[in-house]
Amino acid sequence: MASEHEIRAMRRALDLARDRGSCLPNPTVGCVLLDVHGEEISAGTTVPGGAHAEVEALTAAGERARGATAVVTLEPCAHHGNTGPCVEALVGAGVARVVVAETDPNPVAAGGVEALRRAGLEVETGILGDEVEPLNRAWRFAVTRGRPFVTWKYAATLDGLSAAPDGSSQWITGPEARRDVQVFRAQCDAIVAGTGAVLADDPRLTVRGTDDLPVARERQPLRVVVGETTIPSYYRVFDRVAPTLQVPSRDPAAVLSTLVERDIRHVWLEGGPRLAGAFWNAGLIDRVIGYIAPSMLGSGRAALEGEATTLADLRPIDITDLTRIGPDIRIIGTPGPAPRETYA
């Protein structure tokens, strides 16, 4: 059974991992080393494209790691990837006990718990797993389902409209909501929009205005423009701030297949009710984040162009969060089963 010191250390490891931000396509991990008295020796988080959390903590601890307890949010890896196995690092450093929140669902990297036990280390799993689970939900979905997790974001008036009849849509929501969007964008590794939305709004499709988020400084998500229409090279989506990929297709399954090949785990979908409708109709939206402004248009474009013809086509959404952001309301939910065939 985990001690109070270890439980407290797990929450600290989780906080450190959250502060680090996205490490996609790899999971975000936090690790805390404790001495025999339960006092913290060192801590580390996975560095995007670099060392894993365990190695960071072990490096900081040096010889003090011998006989220590490693408290880590995800099962230490047991394979050779861009870095060596964390299992070997823990064993080589003389760590005596490892406390793990979640096991690794990736068959390539899994097996660390058993490898540690074979090496003679004491291992306990499942500690605060429910609290840690949201940290890598999208990554876990991607590695187990074989396609990226898709978050669809939209902004709308109280009457459900996202653009005026003349096509103008900036800005329906206030600056607080727009800042909030950037925080969520930073958790993804691809931002997807249709050619129509790009031509109409000339968006940057980047993470910005979030200097306190490490991911915004270290790496921008891949910008993905979906559709066959040519986008002029002077549009901001082709600037040097982030890489851009144009996928000449409007088939959501084809788009996601292309992104799987590029190790994309979490797609942020926005910019165009037609493209959003295609993903929605295909059952390929896994989370909805809607920002509702306290205003009315009366006419204009709906946030979603679906294929529903009757109330029998209603698709329920399980609301998981309802928060006021400035003058606007943010609603986060998980769509229920789609009535149509889903992407396999």
Catalytic residue numbers, as ranges = 54
Task: State the Cα–Cα distance between residues 75 and 100, nearest whole angstrom.
Answer: 6
270 is in an annotated binding site: yes
Task: State the Cα–Cα distance between residues 229 and 207, nearest whole angstrom.
Answer: 25
Q: Cα torsion for 152, 153, 159, 164, to the nearest 10°? A: -110
CB 192 within 8 A of CB 272: no
Task: State the Cα–Cα distance between residues 220 and 197, nearest whole angstrom.
Answer: 20
272 is in an annotated binding site: yes
**Which pair of structure tokens corresponds to residue 169?**
């849509």
Task: State the Cα–Cα distance between residues 105 and 74, nearest whole angstrom.
Answer: 10
276 is in an annotated binding site: yes
DSSP letter assigned to residue 136: G
* Cβ-based neighbours of 41, under 8 Å, separated by 6 or more: 33, 34, 35, 57, 61, 64, 65, 68
State residue 193 phi and psi, 5-degree precision.
-145, 155
77 is in an annotated binding site: yes
110 is in an annotated binding site: no
147 is in an annotated binding site: no
CB 189 within 8 A of CB 218: no
| Angle at alpha carbon of residue 214, lines to 13 and 242, rounded to 5° | 140
Omega before 175 cis (within 30°)? no
In 10 A of CB 32, how many CB atoms? 29
86 is in an annotated binding site: yes
120 is in an annotated binding site: no
171 is in an annotated binding site: yes
52 is in an annotated binding site: yes
**Which pair of structure tokens corresponds to residue 162?**
């996202």
CB 127 within 8 A of CB 101: yes
185 is in an annotated binding site: yes
The pairing of beta strand 40-45 with beta strand 328-335: unpaired
Q: Which residues are annotated as a binding site for substrate?
A: 185, 205, 208, 270
Q: Which residues are annotated as a binding site for NADP(+)?
A: 155, 169, 171, 201, 272-278
Q: Which residues are annotated as a binding site?
A: 52, 77, 86, 155, 169, 171, 185, 201, 205, 208, 270, 272-278
